Structure 1
Amino acid sequence: MALTANESIFSIQVASLKDCRVVQFSGEEDMSGLFNFTVEVVSADKNIDGDELVGKPGLMVIQDPDSPRFIHGEIASFSHMYWGQKLTHYQLVLVPKFWFLQHRIGTRIFQNLSVPEIIKKVLDEANITEEHYQLKLTGNYQSRVYTLQYNESEYDFLCRLMEEEGIHYHFEHSEDKHVMIMGDAKPVFQKIPLEELEYHPRSGLMAETDVSFTFWSQEKTVPGKVVTRDYNFEKPKMTLEVEQAGEKLSELQQFYFPGNYTEQAEGQRYAKIKTEAHEAQRYSVGGVSNSCRLIPGYLFALTSYEREEFNKEYLVKKVSHTGYQTQSLDSASGDQGSSYSNEYFAIVADTPFRPKGEQPLVIPIDGTQTAFVTGPSGEEIYTDEHGRIKVQFHWDREGQQDEKTSCWIRVNQDWAGGEWGAFKLPRIGHEVIIDYIDGDPNRPLVMGSVYNGESMPPYDLPEHKTRSTTKTNSSLGGEGFNEIRFEDKKGQEQVFIHAEKDMDIRVKNDRRDHVEVDRHLIVEKDRFEYIKADSHHQVNVSQFNKVAQKVSETIGQSRQLKVGNNYLEEAGSEVHFKSGQKTVLDAAMELTVKAGGSFIKFDPSGVTLSGPTVSLNSGGSPGKGTNASPDAPTTAVEADKDISGQKFTPTPPPAPAENQGIQFASMAQQIALADAMTNAKALVQNCKLKA
C-alpha cells in the first residue's frame, strides 16, 4: 500500500468512543488461531470509562487507495496508559467473538452428534449466531456416540475437535462484523484483492504499490509416516492398525495408540489428517511486505522473484502487523508520518492445510469418579446385549436421570470368558466407580460399586463386621432376595444360603456331603426323589420314621428285610398278606394265629387249637383281604441346566512392526551427488565383491 507523509491512514471506530486517534498498533493473525490487535489511541477526553467499552464491538480501518482494510472485533480490554500535555493515551485490544469462549469453562456431554453439529451447538449457545460463522465443509463427518468436554474452555474444546478432524478456520472482516470461516479443503480460500504481489527489495524509495520487500523459503524435517492403532471391543480380533506416509522420510515414523476410532476407514482418515498436518509444516515461505491485504486464509500470487520456481500461488498462514501514525500526537514527534509493514508466513497453495495438532486429542481424567446408574422410568435394571449400563455423573447439569444420560458403559467383571465367567450388573440408583481407559473421558469403564448414605450395607455395621455376603433384591418391586452369606465370628461360623424361590443344583459326576454333627431338613410341602440306579442308605444307630397318612411302595422284584431282634407291626384295621405262589411263616419256637377268642398255636410241644367251636371240613368260607394297590410316585423334576461357554481360541499375533532406521547420507555421497547433478556426470560408486 502506498503511504503519503503525514496522511492519517489508521482510524478506530467504537460506538461510545468519540474523537480518538490511532497512534500505533500491532496485530497477529493466524490460521486456526485467534486474531489480536493492540491499538494505542489518544483522546482529549481524560475520563473515558473502560467499563463501558469492554465487550463492545470495535472497528479499525486501514485506508488504502483501492479499498479500506477492515479489522472488526470485540474489545477484550481497555487500558488508561498515561496523560500527556493535551491528550490522554489509551490502549484497547480487539479480538474475535470466538476469543470469549476461552472464559466459558465447563463439563458436559454431547451424544450422537458430529463435530460440525457440536461446533454449531456450542457457538449458538454462546450467542455467536450463524451471522458470525460459516461451516464450509466438504468432508463426511460421522456422528460420535459420546463426546465429553471435561473441565476445559469451550474454545479449547472446539479447537481440539477441529484439529482432530482436520478442520481449519480463519476470519473474514467487513465494516460491521467479522465472520469465522471453517473449512477442510482449498475451495474455502479466497484470493486477496490483488492480481499479484510483486517482489521488490527495499531501495530507499517508498513503494507505490503492494510489494514484498523480502522473501524466504524454508524446508524442515517433519515426520514422514503416521501409524495408528486402536481396539474395538465388539470386534476384539480385528487389528485396527493403519498407516499413512508423507512425501519424504518415512523412517521418521510416529505411532499413536489409541487412535480414537473403531473402524479401519475412520482410522485411515485420521492418519491422513495427521500426515497432512505434518506436511503443511514441512515447506513454508515468508517475507516482509507493505500489503495490508495479506490475511490468513487468503491466497496470493508472488511475482518478480529471481528464482522463477518461487513465483507461484501461496496460502497465507500467519501475519504480524505493525503500524505507526505519530502525526496523531500534537508534538514534534508527529512529523514522522504514517508507516505500515507486516511479516507474513505462507505455504504453497496446493498443499492441503491442516491445523498443527498442538491440542491434545483428549483432556485426560486423572483418577476415578463415581456416578449413579440410570435408566428408563419404571425400570430397575437397564442394560444392552453387552451388559453395559448408563450413568449420570455428579458434574452433569443437563442429565435427567434417565436412559439418555451417558453412552453405554462396559462393566468390570471378575471373569469374562466367551459366554462364561462372573456377572453382576449394577442397577438403577446404584453408585458406581468410573475409571477411564487411557484416561480418555470418552472411554469410561465401570470398575465397581460403593454404598452411600441412602444405600447402606445389608447388615448393620460395625455390629456385623464379621459377615461377608452377596445379597440380591427381587425385581421388579423388591420384597425378596437371594443370598450367600458367610459369618466368620469365632464360634459362630456359618455359611447361609437363601433362595427366594427355586434352587437348582446340577452335579455331572459325584456329590459328597459330610456333616460332623446334625443335619436338619424341613420341606414345607412335597419331596420328590428319582434315583435311576441303586439307592444305599445306612444308619449306624436308630432310624425313626413317622408318616401321618399312608406309605405306598411298589417293588419290581424282591424285597428282603432282616431284623436282628424284634420285628413289630401294628395295623389299626387290616393286615393282608398275599403271594402269587406260596407264603411260608417260619418260627423257631412258636407261631400263633389269633382271631377274637380263638387261636392256633404251634410250638415244640405240638399244635394247639382253641375256640368255642372247632369245625373241620364243615363248610364255611375263608375271610377276604383287601388287595394291595400302592400309589405310584410322582417323578422328580430335573434341576435347571445350562450349556458350557465358548472354547477359547487365541488371536494370531500380528507381524512384528518394522523399525526402519534413519538413512543418514555421508558427506562424500552428498558431494558426489551434487557434482554429478551440476556437471552432468555419471554417478559411480565403488563396491566390493566377495569371492
Structure 2
Amino acid sequence: MDNWSALFDGQTRYVLDINDSTVKADVLRFRGREALSEPFRWDIEFTSLHANIPPEQVLMKYASLRMRGGKNVHGMVTRLEWLSTSRDQSHYRLTLSSRLTLLGYTRQCAVFQNLSVPEVVEQVLRKHGLEGPDFEFRLERTYPARELITQWRETDLQFIQRILSEVGIYWRTEMDDVRGLDTCILADSQLNYQFDVQLPYSEPSGLFDGAADSVWDVRTWHNIATGTVATRDYNYRTATMPMDATVSVRSDAVTTGAHYRYTAPYRDAGDDTSPEPETESGAFYARIHHERELSRSARIHLFSNTGHLTPGQVLEPQGDVITALKEGVILTLVTFRGARDSRLHVSVWGVPYTERYCFRPAEIPRPLIPGTLPARIESREKNDIYPHLDEQGRYRVRLDFDRDATDPGYGYLWLRMAKPTAGESSGWHMPLTDGTEVAIAYSNGDIDLPYIACALHDSEHPDHVTRDNHTRNVLRTPANNKLRMEDRRGEEHIKLATEYGKSQLNSGHMVDSQGQRRGTGAELRTDEHGVIRAGKGLFVSADAQPKAQGEALDRDAALKEIDRLNQQLQQLEIAAEKAQALKADVDSQIQMFAQRLKPLNEALLMTAP
C-alpha cells in the first residue's frame, strides 16, 4: 500500500510557499539547476485561483519549494510569467533564484585598493544586505591584499565570480531550513566538500521498487590534458628578478604538452617545487590553472531520483561500479525535473574525486580596456603648486569614473608615467601638478595594470600654443621657466628664460612680450648679478664668421691684429731706445702675447676689427 501511495500522491508531492503574499500556488511542474560557483535557478509552473496576480505580490518575495522527499529550496522570486487562464484557474510560471542572483541587477565601475579577494567579495555581499549567516568563508589559505582590484562594466555578480575564479575559490549553496534562506559557502580546498553521500548504484526496477533512492546509467568522458603549466610575468618594482614558475600536478590523467602563460599577473614567482606555493605567486597561479585543466580531463554523468544531491558533494555509488566511480564523484552540476503527477528526475554531472588536486571554477577573463580613461593628477593638498610624487617618481590620480569618496591623494594607486626617454638616473620628466588631466592606459588592456600614458589640456587648463601663436614651439613650466622656439620664416628666434631676475638668453629675431621686434642677433641678460667664467680662457670677438662656418676658437683675425700691434711696439722700442726708455717693458708685452694670448690660456681676449 505504501508503494502505491508513493506513486499516486500527486497533489501534495511538491509545495510552493511565497512569503508575505496572498497568492496560493499549486505546483504543476518544475525544472531546477544547481551548479558550483553559480546561483541556482528553479523555474516552477503553478496554477492558482487568482486570475490576475499583481507582480508586486510575487516579485522580490522570499519563497520556498518543499518536496515530500525532504528537499527544500529557499530563494527569492525574480520572474513571473502568466501563461493562460481558464474558467477555473490561471496558469503561471515563476523563477525561484538564489539571493546572489540579485547582484546581477547592479552593474558598475569601481576601484578597490589594498584588499584581498575575500575581503572585496565580503564587501560587495554586505553592500547588498547579506550578513554573517548568509555567507561563510571556509578557506584553507590566507590571501594577500592586492594593490588594485578593478570592477569594469560588470554586474556585481559577474565581478565576484571573476575574481573568485582567478584564485580558484569555488562556492556552493546550502539551505538553512531554520531561517528559510539560502547560504553561500565559499571554499578553496577538498576539505570543504560534503562527504559521506552514499547511494546504491542500481537501475529502477519499475513500479514496485519502493521509490528507493539510487543512481544509475553512468556515462564517462575522458580527454587528454595539458601536462605542464609555465608562467612568467614582469614587475617593474623588481625589474631584474626572475619571474618564472613551472608546475606539473601529479594525476592519473593522460597528459601531453605545456601551456605557457605570460603576464598572469603576480608579484612574486613563488616556489614551484612546493605542493603548496605562496598564495597568488606565479607558482600558485600555475598550479591553479593546471588543476583546472586536469578537472576537465574526465567527466561523469549519472541519473538519480533523490532530491538530496547538490553540487559540492562527493557522491560514493555503492555496488558494482566502474573504476571512475571508485573514489567518488565531485558533483559540479545537478538538474532537477518534476511534476505533480510524476516523480523527481535528477541528472548529475561531476568529476572523479582525488586528493591530489581540488575542483577549480573555470577562469573568467578580465574585461579589457583597449584605449585610455580620463583622470586627474591628485595631491594631498588641493591646488598644490608642487607635484606630489613618491620615491620612485610616481603619481596619484583620481579616475573620472570613480564615484567613491576618498581622501585627497589616495583615490588610486601610485602610477608610473610613460616618458619620451628613460634611463638610469636619466630621461625626460616634467612633473605634473594637482588637477592636470591625464590619460590612463592599461598594459595589454588589463584593468589592473594601469599607467599614465600622457597629459592633456582641457577647459580648466588651456593649451599655451593655439591658433594665436601656432608658429611657436614652447616648453613652459608652471613657474614660467621657458624654452621658446619661433618658426615663423624670417623671424626665427629662441628664448631660454626664467622669471627670477628676468634672466634670459635670446637669439635670432628678438621680440618683446607683445610680439614686437626689439632687436636681432643674441642677448644674454639678467636683473641680477652676471658672471662669465671660463677656466681655460675666454675669447670674445666681434670678427665676423659668416653662416657659423669655421672653428669656434678661430683666432686668426685676432692674432693678425696682435701681430700688427707687436710690430708697432717694436717700432716704438726703437724710438724708445733713442729716447732712452726701458726695453724690458716692451719685451714683457711681447712675451705675454706669445705665452698667454696666442694659445688662449687663462686669459681674456677681446677683439674687434
TM-score (norm 2): 0.80
Change (3 A) 1:519 1:161: closer
Cα distance in 2 for residues equivalent to 1:399 and 1:43: 49
Q: Deviations over 1:264-315 (max 9, x none)?
A: 0201101111111121222232211101111111233210124477344332
Q: CA deviation at 1:197?
A: 0.2
Matches within 5 A, 1:328-367: 337-351=341-355, 352-360=357-365, 362-367=366-371
Residue 289 in structure 1 maps to residue 294 in structure 2: no
Alpha-carbon separation, structure 2, partners of 1:343 and 1:420: 66
Q: Deviations over 1:149-201 (max 9, x none)?
A: 01111111111111111000010013311001100012222246x6x200111
Q: 1:38 to 1:565 in 2, by over 3 A?
A: same
Distance 1:158 1:164 in 2: 10
Q: Pick closer, same or farther for the CA change 1:540–1:368 going to 2, 3 Å.
A: closer
Q: Which amino acid aligns with 1:236?
A: A
- 1:5 matched to which residue of 2? 8
Q: Which runs of 5+ in 2 are unaligned?
A: 271-280, 511-518, 545-561, 582-601, 603-609
Change over 3 Å in CA distance of 1:469–1:534 after alignment to 2:
closer
> Could you say which residue in structure 1 is the equivalent of 2:140?
138
Are residues 1:496 and 2:495 paired?
yes
Structure 2 residue matching 1:406: 3-state secondary structure: coil
Distance (Å, rounded) in 2 between the aligned partners of 1:524 and 1:502: 5
SS state at 1:463 partner: helix
Aligned counterpart, 2:599: none
The answer (yes or no) to whether the contact 2:23–2:53 under 8 Å persists in 1 is no
C-alpha RMSD of matched pairs (Å): 3.2
Asked if structure 2 preserves the Cα contact closer than 8 Å seen for 1:302 and 1:312, the reply is: no
1:170-209 equivalence runs, <5 A: 170-175=172-177, 176-191=180-195, 196-208=198-210, 209=212
Counterpart amino acid of residue 363 in structure 1: P
2: CA distance, partners of 1:372 / 1:230? 29
- How far residue 253 of structure 1 moved from its aligned partner, in angstroms, is 2.1
**How much has 1:562 moved relative to structure 2?**
5.1
Q: Distance in 2 between matches of 1:367 and 1:452?
A: 19
The CA deviation at 1:19 is 3.1
The reply to whether residue 158 of structure 1 matches residue 160 of structure 2 is: yes
Checking the alignment, whether the CA contact within 8 Å between 1:392 and 1:399 is kept in structure 2 is no
- Following superposition, the deviation at residue 503 of structure 1 comes to 11
Corresponding residue for residue 273 of structure 1: 288
Written as runs of structure 1 = structure 2, the 5 A alignment for 1:239-388 is 239-246=242-249, 247=251, 248=253, 250-265=255-270, 266-307=281-322, 310-325=325-340, 337-351=341-355, 352-360=357-365, 362-377=366-381, 379=384, 380-388=386-394
Q: Deviations along 1:373-402, whole A, 9 cap, x unmatched?
A: 112015431111222111112111114472
- Is 2:26 the partner of 1:21? yes
The aligned residue for residue 214 of structure 1 is: 217
Match of 1:429 among 430, 435, 439: 435
Q: Distance in 1 between matches of 2:80 and 2:61?
A: 11
Q: Identify if the C-alpha distance between structure 1 residues 518 and 220 changes in structure 2 by more than 3 Å, giving closer, same or farther.
A: closer
Alignment counterpart, residue 232 of structure 2, candidates 229, 249, 255: 229
The alignment status of 1:102 with 2:107, answered yes or no, reads no
Is the Cα contact below 8 Å between 1:277 and 1:354 reproduced in 2?
Answer: yes
Question: What residue is the counterpart of 1:648 in the other structure?
Answer: none
In the alignment, structure 1 residue 44 sits paired with structure 2 residue 49: yes
Q: 1:499 to 1:588 in 2, by over 3 A?
A: farther
Query: Structure 1 pair 4/503, CA: closer, same or farther in 2 (3 Å)?
Result: same
* Amino acid in the other structure paired with 2:370: D
Shift of the alpha carbon at 1:221? 2.4
The structure with the largest helix share of the pair is 2
| Closer, same or farther: CA 451–339 of 1 in aligned 2, 3 Å | same
Match for residue 31 of structure 1?
Answer: 36
483 and 302 in structure 1: CA distance in 2 versus 1, 3 angstrom threshold: same
Q: How does 1:40-79 map to 2 (within 5 A)?
A: 40-64=45-69, 68-79=70-81
CA distance in structure 2 between the aligned counterparts of 1:100 and 1:430, rounded to whole angstroms: 39
Deviation at 1:346, TM superposition (A): 2.1
Task: Indicate the SS of the match to 1:279.
Answer: helix
Indicate the SS of the match to 2:136.
Answer: strand
Judge conservation of contact 2:292–2:360 (CA < 8 Å) in 1: yes
Matched, 1:405 2:400: no
Using the TM superposition, give the Cα deviation of residue 218 of structure 1 relative to its aligned residue in structure 2, in angstroms. 2.5
Residue 425 of structure 1 and its aligned partner are, at CA, apart by: 2.2
Match of 2:114 in 1: 112
Contact conserved, 2:503 with 2:527, CA < 8 A, in 1? no
The change in CA–CA distance for 1:102 and 1:560 in structure 2 (over 3 A counts) is same
- In 2, the alpha carbon distance for the partners of 1:502 and 1:272 equals 65
Quote the Cα distance in structure 2 between the aligned partners of 1:250 and 1:123. Answer: 39
Letter in 1 for 2:119: E
Is contact 2:108-2:154 (8 Å) kept?
yes
State the Cα distance separating 1:434 from its structure 2 match.
1.5
1:501 to partner: Cα distance? 3.8
C-alpha change, 1:282 and 1:502, in structure 2 (3 Å) is farther
The letter for the 2-side match of 1:321 is F
Deviation of the 1:223 alpha carbon = 2.3
Change (3 A) 1:95 1:519: closer
Superposed, which structure 2 residues align to 1:273-672 within 5 Å?
273-307=288-322, 310-325=325-340, 337-351=341-355, 352-360=357-365, 362-377=366-381, 379=384, 380-400=386-406, 402-459=408-465, 461-474=466-479, 481-501=480-500, 518-539=521-542, 586=576
